[in-house]
Amino acid sequence: MNAKANKNHVTSIEPAYYEAITEAIRKEAVKILKNETVVGVVGYLPGRRKGTASPALVTTVEEAEKLIFSPACVNNLSVYLTKAKKGVLKQGKVGIVAKGCDMRALAGLMTESQLQREDLFIIGVVCPGVYGFGVQRTGTLTEENIARKCRECTVHMPEGADVAAGTHAELADLTPEEAEEMARIEAMPQTERWAFWKEHFSRCIRCMACRQVCPFCYCEQCLCDKNRPQAVESSPRPAGNMAWHLVRAMHLAGRCGGCAECERVCPMDIPLNLLNRRMAQELKELYDFEAGLTPVEKGPLNEYKENDDQSFIK
Amino acid sequence: MPQIITEQNLRNLIDLLVKEAKLVVGPKLSGSVVLYEPLTAGSDLTLDALPRRSSKELFFPICEDILSYKRENGAMKVSDMDRSKFPEAVLIGAPPCDAGSPAILDAVMSWDYKDEFYLERRRKSTIVGIACTKGDDACFCRAVGLAPDAEAGSDLFLTPLKDGSYACKAVTEKGQALVAAHQNLFAEGAGAEPKPFVDQAVEKLDLVKIKKWLEEHFEDPLWEKIADICVGCGACAFICPACHCFDINDEGSTDDGVRRKHWDACGFAKFTNHASGHNPRDVQNKRYRNRIMHKFKYYDDKFGKTLCTGCGRCIRACPVGIDIAEILEQINSK
C-alpha cells in the first residue's frame, strides 16, 4: 500500500478532519457539476438527528454545497449505480463519493461489467473510519464508537479514484474484533458452530435489507423471490432463513468487497459479515485472490485454470 | 386511591401468570437484542429498553400456519389450524407506542373480512402497558397524538415512580380482572412522584393538515426525492407496530405441506406484482408514497385512525436514513 510512511496514528479523529474532507468533496462536486462533467453526484447529506447522514443524489450546485462527510457517512453508495437497484447512471456520467471499502465494490462491479469506469467520476475519501451501530455519535471518532469493519481496514487510501479528499489519518492500536470473532467461531466444534448460526438466523425477519443494500445483489430475479416453484422458503422460518443466508454467502464468495453493509443494516444484529469474511478467506487461501481491489477480467470462480487446486474432487 | 405495584411484585406477577399456564410475553434480552418473547420467569423481563421488533407479533406473528394439506389415498386432505388452542396471553411492559398498536389494527382486522387468527389472539390477551421514561431523538409519539404516558390500547397501565415502584391504573375490565385475580401483589397508596417522561425532538404535528396535503399531492416531486435513496427493503414495515400487510404462501411438496401467512412490505418491488406481469407500483416512488398515504390518509379515511404510533423504529433501522418524522415535519410546514 502507498503512503505507509505518512501514517499518522492517533487515538481520536476530531471533527476538523472530517470537515476538511467535506470541504474538498463540496469543491470537487461543485466543479464537476458546473463544468458538466457529470449530471449528478451521489454523496451524503446531513440527517435531522444529531450525528446522522443520508445518501443523496445531488444535481445542482446549491445541493452540492450541502454535501458532507462525517463518521455518520456509513453507506456504500455504489449500490445506487447498479441497474437493478437505482440505475442513476442512465441519466449520464455521475460523480460518486467513495471510501476505500466502497471503491472495492466499484472495482468489483467493473469486473462484472455492471459499470464502466468512464461513466464515473470518483471522489475518493481518505477515510479514517465511520461509526458503528448504536454508538455515541459525538463527532469525534474513537475506539469506542468506530465500526467493527473499520478496525481492520486495509484500504484507508482509496486507489483508482479521480481525486482524493483528505490526508491520511487512522486510529492507532484498534482491537481486530471481527478477526477475533472469526477465530472464536472457527475454533468451535461443528455442532456448536451450527448452533451459533442457527440461533442468529432464527431472528431473521426476511426484510431483505441485507440484499437491498448490497452492491453485488443486483440479480433482476432473485432466487429467493421465486415462488413458481419456490426455490427457497420465503416465509421467515428457520429452514428458509438458513437457506437464504447460505445461498447468499455462496453467491457472494469471491465477489463481496467487504463493505459489511449487510451486517450494518440488519435490524436483528445478525453478524453477516463473518460469513462474507469466511468466504473471502477461502478465496485467498485457494486462489490467492482478494475481491474488488482492482478490476480484473474474471474472478477465480468464473474461470478455469489447469493448475487450479482439484483436490476436492474425490 | 391509586394502586401501587413494586418491581419485585411485577416480576412475581409474571411468575404467577406463567404458573397459571398463561403465555406471558414481554421485553427480553435475546442474544444482543431485546425482543418481545415469551417470559419463563419474572426475572426474564427487561425494563427500560424498546425491543427491536414491535409487540404486534403477539397478535400478528411474523409467520403462522393457517392450514395444512396432505394427499392420502389419492385424495387431498386439508386441515384448518385449531384456533381454540391459542393460549390466554398477557403482554407485559409494552410502552404506549407498542401497547397502542393493536387498538389501531383491530379496525382493519375486523373490517370486510374478520381475521380470526388475529382476533382470537386479541380476545385472549391482556395488555399491561408501561409509561415510557426512556427514548431518543427518533421517538415522535407526541407528534402523532400519543404520549409517553398514553393509556390507549392498554388494559392495565403502569407508571414508573421515582421510588422504583409503579402506579397502576386498570383501564379496561380485562385490566381490572388481572388486578382482582392477584390483589395481594398490589397495594393501596398515593405513591411517589412519577419518573420524568421522555422529551421529544419533534413538535406535535397537525395530522389533519398533513392528510389534506396528501390528498392534494398524489403526484409530487417529494416522492421521487425519497425514492432516489430508498433501497426497497422491508425493514421499516417489519419492525413497525402498525404495518400489517402479509403474504400467503403454500410451502412444502405437492403431496404434503402448509399454507403460511407471513409479513410482507409495500417497499418490496414485487409487492403489487400482478399475475399478468403488470405492476401498478412499478417504481420505488410509488411504493414509498403508498407507505405514507396508507399511514396518514387511507387508514384515516376508512377507520378514523392514524396508522403510526411514533415509536421511531423505522427511523433507527432505515439502511439509508429515511426519516419519516422529518418527512411529516416537512409536509406539516408546507
Query: What confidence tens digit (pLDDT) does each residue in B316-326 have?
Result: 999 999 999 99
A174-180: average pLDDT: 94
pLDDT for residue A128: 94
Q: Tell me what pLDDT residue A88 has.
A: 74
User: Shortest CB distance from B233 goes to which of A209, A235, A268?
Assistant: A209
Which of B29, B233, B243 best tests the A interface by mutation, with the highest count of A CBs <10 A? B233
What is the least distance, in Å, from the CA of A205 to any CA of chain B? 7
Query: Per-residue DSSP letters for A156-211?
Result: SS--S-SEEES---EESS---HHHHHHHHHHTS-HHHHHHHHHHHHHT-----HHH
Using an 8 Å CB-CB cutoff, list chain B residues near A85: 231-232
Short-list A72, A115, A71, CA closest to A96: A115
* Cβ separation A47–B319 shorter than 8 A: no
Best of A89, A97, A212, A261 to mutate (most B CBs within 10 Å, chain B)? A212
pLDDT tens-place string over residues B18-33: 999 999 999 999 988 9
Q: Does B326 touch chain A (CB under 8 A)?
A: yes
For the segment A262-282, the average pLDDT, to the nearest whole number, is 95
Write down the pLDDT at residue B148. Answer: 94
Supply B24's cell numbers.
406471558
The grid coordinates of residue B152 equal 390507549
**Interface test mutation site (partner B, options A207, A211, A216, max chain B beta carbons within 10 A):** A207
* Chain B partners within 8 Å of A213 (Cβ): 231, 233, 319-320
d(CA B98, CA B51): 10
| pLDDT band per the 50, 70, 90 thresholds, residue A85 | low
A1 has a pLDDT exceeding 90: no
Asked if pLDDT for residue B306 goes beyond 90, the answer is yes
More confident residue, B104 or A311: B104
Put simply, the answer to whether B263 touches A236 (Cβ < 8 Å) is: yes
What percent of chain A is predicted at pLDDT more than 90?
69
CB atoms within 10 A of CB B18: 18
A170 reaches B (C-beta below 8 A) = no
SS3 per residue for B94-108:
ECHHHHCHHHHHHHH
Q: Which residue type occupies B287?
A: R
- Chain B: closest CA distance from residue A214 (Å): 10
Cβ within 8 Å, pair B251-A261: no
**Residue A192: all three cell numbers together:** 456448536
By the CB < 8 Å criterion, does A87 face chain B? Answer: no
Report CB contact under 8 Å: B319, A230.
no
To the nearest whole number, what is the mean pLDDT of chain B? 94
> pLDDT: is A60 or B194 the higher one?
A60
Query: Which residue carries 403482554 as its cell?
Result: B91
**DSSP string covering B254-308:** SSEEEEEEEE--TTSTTTT--TTS--TT-SHHHHHHHHHHIIIIIHHHHHS--S-
Q: Which of A82, A201, A206, A270 is most worth mutating to test chain B (most B CB atoms within 10 A of its CB)? A: A206
pLDDT digits (tens, 9 = 90+) for B178-196: 999 999 999 987 768 888 8
- Give the pLDDT confidence of B264-305 residue by residue, as tens digits: 999 999 899 998 989 999 888 999 999 999 999 999 999 999
Mean pLDDT within A143-172: 92
**pLDDT score recorded for residue B228:** 87
B45 touches chain A (CB under 8 A): no
Which residue would you say has higher pLDDT here, A314 or A118? Answer: A118
pLDDT over 70 at A130, yes or no: yes
Q: Looking at CA atoms only, how far is residue B179 from chain A in angstroms?
A: 34
Which range has the worst mean pLDDT, A194-203, A220-229, B4-13, B223-232? A220-229
Q: Does B33 touch chain A (CB under 8 A)?
A: yes
In chain A, positions 267-306, which contact chain B (CB-CB < 8 Å)? 267-269
Residue A77 distance to chain B (closest CA, Å): 10
CB contact under 8 A, B235 and A55: no
pLDDT at residue A82 above 90? no
Is the pLDDT at A7 greater than 80? The verdict is no
User: Which whole number is the average pLDDT over A173-200?
Assistant: 95
Our CA-based measurement puts residue A298 at a distance from the nearest CA of chain B, in whole angstroms, of 28
pTM of the model: 0.93
Average pLDDT of span A286-311: 83
CB spacing of A205 vs B325 below 8 angstroms: no
Nearest CA distance, B248 vs chain A (angstrom)? 9
The band of A8, judged by pLDDT with boundaries at 50, 70 and 90, is low
CA angle (B254 as vertex; B252, B258 as ends), nearest 5: 35
| pLDDT tens digits along B126-145 | 999 999 998 899 999 999 99
Q: Compute the average pLDDT of residues B49-65.
A: 96
The mean per-residue pLDDT over the stretch B190-212 comes to 86
Element (H, E) at B93: strand B89-94
